[in-house]
Amino acid sequence: MNTLVCTEPGHFAYETRPTPTPTEGQALLRIRRIGICGTDLHAFEGTQPFFSYPRVLGHELAGELVDPGGAAGFAVGEAVAFIPYYNCGHCVACRAGKPNCCVQMQVCGVHVDGGMAELLAVPARLLVHGEGLSYDELALVEPLAIGAHGVRRADVQPGEWVLVVGAGPIGLGVMEFTRIAGAQVIALDINEQRLAFCRGNLGVAHTIHALAPDVAAQLAAITGGDMPTVVIDATGSLQAITNAFGYLAHGGRFVLVGLQKDDISFSHPEFHKREATLLSSRNATRADFEHVISSMKQGLVKPTTYITHRTGFGEVKDKFAQWLNPATGVIKAMVALD
């Protein structure tokens, strides 16, 4: 089968690999869509933590079920998504119902080879019913679930002001599920084109350019002087994270969805006097996936509006580097295997 391998930072190669033979407990998917996410882009750049080469990227996937692998209720030919976080099932996190932060976590396309291939064997227990959604929609369930999980970690309440730092695909998902939770969204980003996308496509009324000299003053004006009670970072930028500590209300919660490699430092007195809460948000759970699919089916989220670039599988090697350039206006690139 045709497989695209990231051999080292900055380099892809197509390889012919054997068709996977599912072992006990594995299902076999024919990959139909691959969403390109920040993890893939950072891996290509060589800036993704927890990464080694060579690696087959791809974890935002939709597939046609070739073999259900014994998964009850699933049928050959069904359009499915799957949860790409391979947890051990017995560590302290798994026992506590938090398989998304398993001690032995193996993320498909990061720690183990992913779905930039014609076929992929996955744990059957991680299959997710497509519920009649299209392949495009199903490939976007995973990144939206990341956003939904971050909102759940923040315990966002109706009427709150939530500052979402970063208007990339993950940040957009955070904004969507903040809105669904009944809170009010403020988008902060360095890219005016992305802020315009938030206003035009998501209906976000309040957007702020991250390089404005008066970000804090703008936030105070929007929130009536209180500042946001929730700040959620979806950038993975050390500078953005550091700055955002200054945008948090007293008694507020700061949730880190984005990931970067370096240490984070902040003023302890400023954080302490706010009695603030700092949380990380890793991956997502089945409940988050189901929440996303339900929201899609109800028309609360229209994820295909995020797809700005499309390409066939055979063109990915030549086009991938372009998607690193903000000037291309890429929000979500979608790869089709038909």
DSSP codes, 302-316:
-GGGGEEEEEEGGGH
pTM: 0.95
Q: Mean per-residue pLDDT for 33-62?
A: 89
pLDDT at residue 209 is higher than 90? yes
In this structure, is residue 297 part of a structural domain?
no
259 plus 322 within the same structural domain: no
Q: Mean per-residue pLDDT for 292-303?
A: 95
Q: Which helix (H) or strand (E) holds 290?
A: helix 286-297
- The domain of 27 spans 2-139+302-336
- Sign of the Cα torsion 175, 176, 180, 185 reads positive
In this structure, is residue 285 part of a structural domain?
no
pLDDT at 234: 97
In this structure, is residue 290 part of a structural domain?
no
167 plus 270 within the same structural domain: yes
Q: Mean per-residue pLDDT for 275-293?
A: 98
DSSP-based three-state secondary structure for 68 = coil
Q: How confident is the model at residue 123 (pLDDT cuts 50, 70, 90)?
A: very high
131 plus 157 within the same structural domain: no
What is d(CA 149, CA 279) in angstroms, rounded to the nearest whole number?
A: 12
Alpha helices in 198-256 (DSSP H): 215-222, 238-244
134 plus 161 within the same structural domain: no
Residues 6 or more apart whose CB falls under 8 angstroms from that of 179 comprise 185, 202, 203
Closest residue by Cα to residue 129 from 87, 85, 71: 71
| CA count, 13 A, side-chain hemisphere, 148 | 22
Q: Mean per-residue pLDDT for 194-219?
A: 96
266 plus 308 within the same structural domain: no
Q: Which residue has the tokens 């059957």?
A: 124
Residues 6 or more apart whose CB falls under 8 angstroms from that of 169 comprise 35, 37, 38, 143, 306, 331, 332
Q: 2-34, pLDDT tens digit by residue?
A: 999 999 999 999 999 999 999 999 999 999 999
327 plus 272 within the same structural domain: no
